[in-house]
């Protein structure tokens, strides 16, 4: 599905240069479930943002579905992104002023899909993540777990092939965390590629492979023995 080759990211601020990623080489197959672990500040989010095409690498190559996208323009990246990639964030990132269904619909708004079909799709995913009874509610009226379910629904409503999740359980208690993990697992079993950053070894166990980052380097890659 994607391949990172000697990929680096350097942040330049006025005085300091931070090398957030340093010659990273990673390959992720279609249909995989990968967990990324590592201490805070080691570059996990940076990696995920580049993979998700929200950011561009300073050097190196990023081949996504056979295309080297490392030097693509923002507009091109945006196009590939909205077709293929869904996001889930630690802080849910729902829009407070929009209802649950409107939040989910937002992911289809920029896809040229007619309104009737949009509505049908939104209803389908809401059923799938079990949030349909809260369709008209505002995010602030939901619990954290419910909000994250909305976020998951939003990430998959466009039939994205890959979901990138940055600490999706970070703000949830263990019961709700587990719920979200089970949802991701189910999606993976249906064929969605999932890349997830997590601090919890238990949640990393849902993945087939764990990549450990330290200071912008890939330290180890563990393949979980097949169950």
Ligand X SMILES: Nc1ncnc2c1ncn2[C@@H]1O[C@H](COP(=O)(O)OP(=O)(O)O)[C@@H](O)[C@H]1O
Q: Is the dihedral of CA 68, 211, 191, 153 positive or negative?
A: negative
Binding site for Mg ion (CB under 5 A): 45
Instruction: Give me the phi and psi of 25, to 5 degrees please.
Output: -125, 115
Q: Which two tokens stand for residue 25?
A: 């080489």
In contact, 33 and 206? CB cutoff 8 Å: yes
Q: Considering beta carbons, is residue 48 or 157 the nearer one to ligand X?
A: 48
Distance CA 143, CA 100 (A): 12
- Minimum Å gap between C-beta 42 and ligand X is 5
Does residue 64 bind another protein (CB under 8 A)?
no
Q: Considering beta carbons, is residue 9 or 134 the nearer one to ligand X?
A: 9
- Minimum Å gap between C-beta 211 and ligand X is 12
| Candidate segments 24-32, 86-94, 181-189, 204-212, binder of another protein by CB under 8 A | 86-94
- N-to-C CA span, the chain: 24
- Minimum Å gap between C-beta 156 and ligand X is 23
Among 33, 62, 64, 89, binds another protein (CB under 8 A): 89
Query: 10-49 mask for ligand X (x: CB under 6 A)?
Result: -x-x----x-x-------------------xxxxxxx---
Among ligand X, another protein, Mg ion, none, residue 111 binds (CB under 5-8 Å by kind): another protein
In contact, 107 and 157? CB cutoff 8 Å: yes
Q: Is the dihedral of CA 105, 91, 2, 194 positive or negative?
A: negative
Give the pairing of strands 85-88 and 217-223. Answer: unpaired
In contact, 194 and 188? CB cutoff 8 Å: yes
Distance CA 18, CA 45 (A): 14
The H-assigned helical ranges of 74-143 are: 74-84, 100-109, 115-129
Among ligand X, another protein, Mg ion, none, residue 96 binds (CB under 5-8 Å by kind): another protein
Count of chain residues binding another protein (CB under 8 A): 27
Please report, as ranges, the residues that interact with another protein according to CB under 8 A: 45, 49, 52, 54-55, 74-75, 78-79, 81-82, 87, 89, 91, 93-97, 106-107, 109-111, 139-140, 154
Please report, as ranges, the residues that interact with ligand X according to CB under 6 A: 11, 13, 18, 20, 40-46
């Amino acid at each position: 599905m994607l391949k990172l080759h000697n990929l680096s990211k350097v942040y330049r601020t006025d005085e300091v240069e931070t090398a957030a990623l340093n010659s990273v080489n990673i390959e992720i197959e279609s249909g995989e479930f990968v967990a990324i672990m590592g201490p805070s500040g080691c570059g996990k989010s940076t990696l995920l943002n580049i993979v998700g095409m929200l950011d561009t690498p300073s050097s190196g190559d990023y081949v996504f579905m056979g295309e080297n996208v490392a030097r693509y323009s923002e507009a091109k990246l945006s196009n590939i992104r909205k077709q293929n990639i869904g996001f889930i964030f630690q802080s849910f990132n729902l829009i407070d002023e929009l209802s649950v269904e409107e939040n989910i619909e937002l992911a289809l708004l920029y896809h040229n899909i007619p309104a009737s079909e949009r509505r049908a799709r939104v209803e389908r995913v809401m059923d799938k993540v079990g949030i349909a009874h809260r369709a008209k509610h505002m995010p602030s009226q939901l619990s954290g777990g419910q909000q994250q379910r909305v976020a998951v629904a939003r990430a998959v409503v466009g039939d994205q092939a890959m979901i990138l999740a940055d600490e999706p359980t970070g703000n949830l208690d263990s019961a709700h965390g587990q719920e979200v993990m089970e949802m991701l697992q189910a999606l993976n079993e249906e064929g969605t590629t999932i890349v997830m950053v997590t601090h919890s070894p238990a949640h990393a166990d849902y993945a087939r492979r764990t990549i450990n980052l330290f200071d912008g380097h890939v330290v180890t890659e563990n393949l979980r023995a097949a169950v």
